């Protein structure tokens, strides 16, 4: 049972007490660097394909997740202004959060058709980010610390207000499911666990973030915009820094852990880096041995909405 904490409760981050394999997980190895001519909003992967969305663009770019990481196809969604993208392993599909049309789009595997799922949001509510639970429910974070739990299967919607999480203008940036009825969430100054059944914060630390990526059932990577990555053990409630060497490229925008192959996608402004915790992947088909960087033009059928620029 969770013990309630105030969000002002401070928990000092300690060195991870685990040894051996857990210590090795603190090092990420760069396999590929993709350079786009537009800032990246988010990226995800599914079955050896990488899906990328860019700022104010109606196009999803799909790359092969192996060398030389070439562009495979594009998926155009007219009028879309993408806020986030995530993988559903429950239905084997990719979902895009569209703030302009107040909906989520499902991109199907073959062929890459799309299905629209409308979200019932009120005036002034803004779609900020999303994550997908192991059962396929979509966790959408709104401004003002509101959260929508939406089921694409039957359209059922549950609305939650994360009480006590607002610190002046500091709002929840991202939230993901870490167990039955529990969300791991972060804001600019806090990382915390929210119990949906008890409607309370049950763990918190005074270390902020802008993105959460689940690596396993008890391990998450939490990032902030300065480029810091932390590995968080959600049971021991301890963290350790993740080293990306000198590969960072400005403001960190997004992170994703691929469940099927263990790769980590990190977006820095207009760069997408493909990493692995396993140094042996540096010698595998996942590493681009010819070049560490490839330039990709995010153009073609992309429509740019200057009204949002």
Residue 170, domain member (yes or no): yes
> pLDDT tens digit string along 214-242?
998 899 999 988 888 999 999 999 999 99
Residue 10, domain member (yes or no): no
Q: 200 forms bridges with which residues in the sheet?
A: 195
- CA distances (Å), origin 206, targets 1, 9, 10, 189, 213: 22, 7, 5, 6, 19
Overall number of domains in the chain: 1
> pLDDT tens digit string along 273-285?
999 999 899 888 8
What is the rounded average pLDDT of the residues 9-26?
A: 41
Residue 214: which domain range?
21-308
Decide: 280 and 29 in contact? Cβ < 8 Å.
no
Residue 185 is part of a domain; what is its CATH number?
2.130.10.10
CA atoms within 13 A on the CB side of 139: 24
Residue 12, domain member (yes or no): no
- Strands (E) across 119-251 are located at 127-132, 138-142, 146-150, 157-161, 174-179, 182-186, 191-195, 200-205, 211-214, 219-223, 229-233, 238-242
Residue 9, domain member (yes or no): no
Q: Average pLDDT, whole number, for the chain? A: 84
Residue where the block lists tokens 């691929």: 258
Question: What percent of the chain has pLDDT above 70?
Answer: 82
Nearest to 151 by CA among 132, 135, 134, 137: 137
pTM of the model: 0.86
Residue 8, domain member (yes or no): no
Residue 14, domain member (yes or no): no
Residue 132, domain member (yes or no): yes
Residue 3, domain member (yes or no): no
> pLDDT tens digit string along 111-126?
889 999 999 998 899 9
């Amino acid at each position: 049972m969770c013990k309630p904490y105030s969000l002002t409760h401070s928990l000092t981050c300690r060195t991870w007490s685990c040894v051996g394999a857990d210590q090795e997980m603190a090092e990420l190895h760069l396999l590929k660097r993709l350079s786009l001519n537009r800032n990246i909003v988010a990226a995800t992967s599914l079955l050896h394909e990488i899906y990328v969305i860019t700022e104010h663009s109606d196009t999803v770019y799909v790359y092969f997740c192996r060398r030389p990481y070439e562009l495979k196809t594009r998926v155009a969604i007219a009028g879309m202004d993408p806020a986030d993208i995530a993988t559903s392993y429950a239905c084997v599909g990719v979902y895009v959060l569209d703030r302009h049309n107040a909906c989520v789009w499902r991109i199907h595997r073959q062929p890459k058709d799309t299905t629209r799922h409308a979200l019932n949001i009120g005036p002034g509510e803004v779609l900020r980010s999303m994550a997908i639970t192991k059962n396929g429910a979509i966790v959408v974070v709104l401004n003002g610390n509101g959260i929508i739990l939406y089921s694409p299967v039957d359209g059922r919607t549950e609305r939650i207000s994360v009480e006590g999480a607002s610190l002046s203008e500091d709002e929840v940036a991202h939230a993901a499911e870490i167990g039955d009825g529990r969300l791991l969430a972060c804001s600019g100054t806090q990382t915390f666990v929210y119990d949906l059944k008890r409607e309370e914060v049950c763990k918190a630390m005074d270390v902020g973030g802008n993105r959460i990526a689940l690596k396993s059932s008890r391990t998450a990577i939490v990032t902030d915009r300065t480029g810091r990555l932390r590995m968080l053990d959600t049971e021991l409630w301890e963290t350790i820094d993740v080293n990306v060497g000198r590969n960072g490229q400005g403001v960190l925008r997004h992170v994703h852990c691929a469940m099927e192959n263990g790769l980590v996608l990190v977006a820095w402004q207009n760069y997408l880096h493909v990493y692995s915790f396993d140094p042996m992947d540096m010698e595998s088909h996942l590493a681009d041995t010819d070049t560490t960087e490839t330039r990709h033009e995010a153009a073609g059928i992309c429509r740019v909405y200057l009204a949002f620029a």
